[in-house]
Amino acid sequence: MANRKISLTFPQVRLVLEGYGKWHAFSLALRYKRPETFKRLVKNYGNMWSRYISKAKMARVFFQYFEEVRKLWEDDTDVASVKFSENEVASILISLVSEDLEHAVITHGDSWTNNFMFKEQLGKPVEVSLIDWQFSGFSSPVLDLSFFIYTCVDTEKYKNVEELLKIYHEAVCGYLHQLNCDSVDILPFNTLMKHWKKFSCYGLLFGSFILRFCLSESEELPDLIENAEKGNNFLEIFEFITSNKEVYHKRVKDNILHYARNLVE
């Protein structure tokens, strides 16, 4: 398991993107070859994060985390251009995920560092396993991709999202070809890019939330069970302070800049 406080290396990033390409290809192929079977399979599939956020009224936490960082760089034109109201945050996290289901896949749903197990040979990653599927859902593949990129990737270094998405798309097409499907028609690259422009705000918001936990020291993190036993207000447990605030702020700022610049390119 990789260090949650450090962005993944490019070889690790490539393996994860290819892993998602393989996983998503199964959904796309099943929809293409056996549409009725696929329809029955996903009939009652929702988005577990959306249900959780809605029920626990957590949109405010995501909004506050994001605004904390955005306001620090409001004098930057690109940062200032990325602004969501609390209602918009709730809509993105709860409602947006159910749109444009024509190219939706069964998602992993929890794309952060601790859920990737890397196999290494001679100190180099050669395989990856995606673990922890309790937040699996049915949505655009960009939910997994943007969650992953804005949580695990150094977006200051890898500024052009198209280069990353091409790695994923090549993997999707390769596996669809193995499954005897016409990959070009099933998920064209221009469709994937359109999905990125529409759905990547989901991953951007999740990055500001998950990175707060990733970059904190273990002793700083709230104990959910202990707080529940004490009867503490659930939302108050997310008000913890991280000693690595500067690193957290920079990572989220880099994500905001990456998001803004890739929407217009």
Domain, as residue range, for 113: 10-264
Residue 234: per-residue pLDDT: 67
Flag whether 188 is in a domain.
yes
Domain count, the chain: 1
Flag whether 3 is in a domain.
no
Flag whether 21 is in a domain.
yes
Question: What is the pTM (predicted TM-score) of this model?
Answer: 0.94
Residue 174: per-residue pLDDT: 96
What's the CA gap between 67 and 59, in Å, rounded? 12
- 40: CATH: 3.90.1200
Tokens standing for residue 218: 């273990």
pLDDT by residue for the chain (265 residues), tens only, comes to 789 999 999 999 999 999 999 999 999 999 999 999 999 999 988 888 999 899 989 999 999 999 999 999 989 999 999 999 999 999 999 999 999 899 999 999 999 999 999 999 999 999 999 999 999 999 999 999 999 999 999 999 999 999 999 999 999 999 999 999 976 689 999 999 999 999 999 999 999 999 999 998 888 887 766 665 666 676 777 887 788 999 999 999 999 999 999 986 5
Beta-carbon contacts of 41 under 8 Å, excluding residues fewer than 6 positions away, are 30, 106
What's the CA gap between 1 and 117, in Å, rounded? 5
Tens-place pLDDT, residues 120-165: 999 999 999 999 999 999 999 999 999 999 999 999 999 999 999 9
What's the CA gap between 169 and 175, in Å, rounded? 10
Flag whether 4 is in a domain.
no
Flag whether 5 is in a domain.
no
